[in-house]
């Protein structure tokens, strides 16, 4: 158990809908990262937050947004969902701006 929690574990929804994925980092970690894992793209970095502020952006679509709250948990919002958004979404956390990242169990999103 990495100490990073993610909810829900599975999510099934329809095209055009909006969903919110939630992540709680390990106790004491200030950075939260979001990654997407799909068969065709592999593991792709989406976005990083550090102590409530956006720190780095990767291949994140404009339809996706994230935030980190004062209690350091983070949410990833995916809107206008398309079939191609079906993937495993991982959250990871680290103590500081960089360094060892510990991953949560992931949220499997299926868009029908």
Partner 1 sequence: GEDVEQSLFLSVREGDSSVINCTYTDSSSTYLYWYKQEPGAGLQLLTYIFSNMDMKQDQRLTVLLNKKDKHLSLRIADTQTGDSAIYFCAESHRGSSNTGKLIFGQGTTLQVKP
**Is the Cβ of residue 16 or residue 100 nearer to partner 1 in the bound state?**
100
| C-alpha separations of 61 from 8, 33, 77, 105 in Å | 21, 15, 11, 23
Q: Note the maximum CA span of the chain.
A: 38
Separation CA 24–CA 42 (nearest Å): 23
Q: Which of 110, 96, 108 is nearest to 33 (CA)?
A: 96
For residue 68, state whether it binds partner 1 (rule: CB under 8 A): no
For residue 2, state whether it binds partner 1 (rule: CB under 8 A): yes
For residue 61, state whether it binds partner 1 (rule: CB under 8 A): no
Q: Determine which residue in the list 25, 33, 76, 109 makes contact with partner 1, applying CB under 8 A.
A: 33
**How many residues of this chain bind partner 1 (CB under 8 A)?**
26
Query: How far is CA 100 from its chain centroid?
Result: 17
For residue 25, state whether it binds partner 1 (rule: CB under 8 A): no
Q: Determine which residue in the list 58, 80, 82, 112 makes contact with partner 1, applying CB under 8 A.
A: 58
| C-alpha separations of 69 from 8, 49, 72 in Å | 18, 10, 5
**Is the Cβ of residue 18 or residue 43 nearer to partner 1 in the bound state?**
43
Chain contacts with partner 1 (rule: CB under 8 A): 2, 31, 33, 35, 42-45, 48, 55-56, 58, 90, 92, 94, 96-106
């Amino acid at each position: 158990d990495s100490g990073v929690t993610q909810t829900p574990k599975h999510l099934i929804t329809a095209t055009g809908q909006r969903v919110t994925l939630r992540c709680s980092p390990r106790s004491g970690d200030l950075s939260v990262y979001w990654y997407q894992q799909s068969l065709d793209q592999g593991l792709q970095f989406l976005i990083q937050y550090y102590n409530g502020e956006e720190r780095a952006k990767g291949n994140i679509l404009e339809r996706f947004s994230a935030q980190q709250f004062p209690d350091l948990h983070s949410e990833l919002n995916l809107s206008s969902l398309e079939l191609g958004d079906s993937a495993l979404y991982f959250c990871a956390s680290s103590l500081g701006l960089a360094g060892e990242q510990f991953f949560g169990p992931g949220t499997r999103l299926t868009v029908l």
